[in-house]
Amino acid sequence: MGSALEAATRKTRWRLIPLMLVLYVLAFLDRADIGFAKNSYQLDTHISNSVFALGAGIFFSAYALLGAPANLLMQRFGARRWIGCTTLTWGLLAASMSRADCAWKFLLIRTLLGAAEAGFFPGMIYLTSQWFPQQQRAGVMGLFYLGVPLALTLGSPFAGALLELQGLGGRPGWAWMFLVDGGLAMLAGVWVFCYLDDRPAEARFLGAEERAALVQELHIEEGVKATPSIRDAVRNGQVWRLAVIYMMIQMGVYGLIFFLPSQIAALLGKRIGFASSLITAIPWLVAMVGTYLIPRYSDRSERRRYVAAATLLVGGIGIGVSAFGGPVVAILALSAAATGLIAVQPVFWTMPTGLLTGRALAAGIGFVNMFGAFGGLLAPLLRVKAESVFANQSAGLVTLSIVVIAAATMIAMLKPNPYSQVFREEN
């Protein structure tokens, strides 16, 4: 049975991780590409900085409210149909941003895009908990989370090249960028319908013995956890603490992502285009390395809490330091910030998936992700407000740095979870 389980988990990794990674790359491009388009888009549409910040964040309003219900619906209808429909819908909406030539269209489509993507990310976390044993999840999530720096590493020059299509067919470059990114997501949605299986017991790519071994291992793990109801999950103080921490992490992530292209361009004294986009890719390229190595170390050491706290602390310090110094210092600091903010998240998500099970897990993931979405909503507004109040372009970065460092402190203070190994520490 041991060899069968090993073969099953190996085949599952090769089957699911590439799909999850590609989908996350496309999802992140479609929610973050307004950061690449910011300057030219605002110039053409006459959208103010405050409206842009609202539109960047309003994505997360519907995203926050619909995450938990979407996860419960995925559990009911199956991953293949739910994720396939979700991907097709968000791709269509992302492509329609090419026609968002005024403020009301911009805000409406961003809201609908958030609603369409609401079920995707928590669905991926839940999918991981249903297909992979607990001890492997940080490493698996680390590979999945490579989608963020990969999207932004490849997406920077890709978006820069598309922005250079200014005037082609009488359309601005930003319209071509939205259209191409959304079209790729729609193609991926069709792929999901043909490729994905709903659960391990139905896995077409596993032999009968391998399916049985994997199902048995996952069943044993579920048996040693508490079996709370959905109500118990949202009453759990540990779940609330994790939700608040995740919100603060996402404030750092999106406070960085939405403004990084324009920040790098300002450091270099250039407009946002292909040349500056190559430099913008550097922090995300460094983050790819950290996102691969840190969760794997977390799996080996099982010191989840300390690994997560230290990683996030590096990210928070990096954000603060990037506000000062010349281009070289700022880019090095931004590389540390990107690494800390992205690499901490695979380790973080082992915590709620080790704490809950069944429908409570589906709802709990959505609940925690909902708070993260509020972080994405608040991040651009907080950064712009801090810069306005203090009349200083560095104030927004310093404010985000304080938020992220506070989140690292809260992780370090979490109590061990009595039902799983995810918080286990060496004494």
The string of pLDDT tens digits covering residues 13-35 is 999 999 988 998 888 787 777 77
Determine the Cα–Cα distance for residues 395 and 326; give it in Å rounded to an integer. 17
Q: 0.95 exceeded by the pTM?
A: no
First CA to last CA distance, the chain: 33
Residue that the structure tokens 């079996």 belong to: 227
Hey, what are 8's tokens? 């099953």
272 pLDDT more than 70: no
Q: Where does residue 55 rank: exposed (0-12), middle (13-18), buried (19+ CB within 10 A)?
A: buried
Length of the chain counted residue by residue: 427
Determine the Cα–Cα distance for residues 383 and 418; give it in Å rounded to an integer. 38
419 pLDDT more than 70: no
3-state DSSP assignment of residue 323:
coil
Q: Could you count the other beta carbons within 10 Å of the beta carbon of residue 363?
A: 27
Listing DSSP states for 15-37 in one string gives: HHHHHHHHHHHHHHHHHHHHHHH
Higher pLDDT, 30 or 427: 30
DSSP letter assigned to residue 357: -
The pLDDT score that the predictor gives to residue 5 is 87
The answer to whether the Cα torsion of 240, 245, 246, 250 is positive or negative is positive
Backbone phi and psi for residue 78, each to the nearest 5 degrees, phi listed first = 100, 150
1 pLDDT more than 70: no
- In the chain, what are the domain boundaries? 2-412
CA atoms within 13 A on the CB side of 72: 11
427 pLDDT more than 50: no
Hey, what are 355's tokens? 């704490």
The pLDDT score that the predictor gives to residue 382 is 86
CA atoms within 13 A on the CB side of 316: 21
Residue that the structure tokens 């790519």 belong to: 205
Residues 128/155, Cβ–Cβ less than 8 Å: no
Mean pLDDT of 404-417: 87
Most confidently modeled of 61-65, 152-156, 361-365, 382-386? Answer: 382-386
- The 10s digit of each residue's pLDDT in 60-110 is 777 777 777 777 778 777 888 888 988 999 999 999 998 888 888 999 999
Compute CA distances 207 → 72, 213, 218, 348, whole Å: 29, 10, 17, 32
Compute CA distances 64 → 141, 215, 373, whole Å: 21, 32, 5
Determine the Cα–Cα distance for residues 38 and 20; give it in Å rounded to an integer. 28
The pLDDT score that the predictor gives to residue 156 is 67
DSSP letter assigned to residue 414: P
* Averaged confidence pLDDT in the chain: 82
The pLDDT score that the predictor gives to residue 420 is 44
Which value, in Å, is the radius of gyration of the alpha carbons in the chain? 21
Hey, what are 114's tokens? 């958030």
CA atoms within 13 A on the CB side of 276: 20
- The 10s digit of each residue's pLDDT in 187-235 is 999 999 889 898 888 888 999 899 999 988 888 766 555 545 566 666 7
Listing DSSP states for 74-103 in one string gives: HHHH-HHHHHHHHHHHHHHHHHHGGG--SH
Q: Could you count the other beta carbons within 10 Å of the beta carbon of residue 98?
A: 19
Determine the Cα–Cα distance for residues 407 and 347; give it in Å rounded to an integer. 14
- The 10s digit of each residue's pLDDT in 99-156 is 888 888 999 999 999 888 887 887 888 888 888 887 787 788 888 888 878 877 777 6
Q: Which CATH number fits domain 2-412: 3.10.20.310, 1.20.1250.20, 3.30.70.1290, 2.40.40.20?
A: 1.20.1250.20
The pLDDT score that the predictor gives to residue 230 is 60
The pLDDT score that the predictor gives to residue 423 is 39
Higher pLDDT, 299 or 190: 190
Residues 115/61, Cβ–Cβ less than 8 Å: no
Which residues have CB under 8 Å from 255's CB, separation 6+? 319, 379, 380, 382, 383, 396, 397, 400
Q: Could you count the other beta carbons within 10 Å of the beta carbon of residue 198?
A: 18
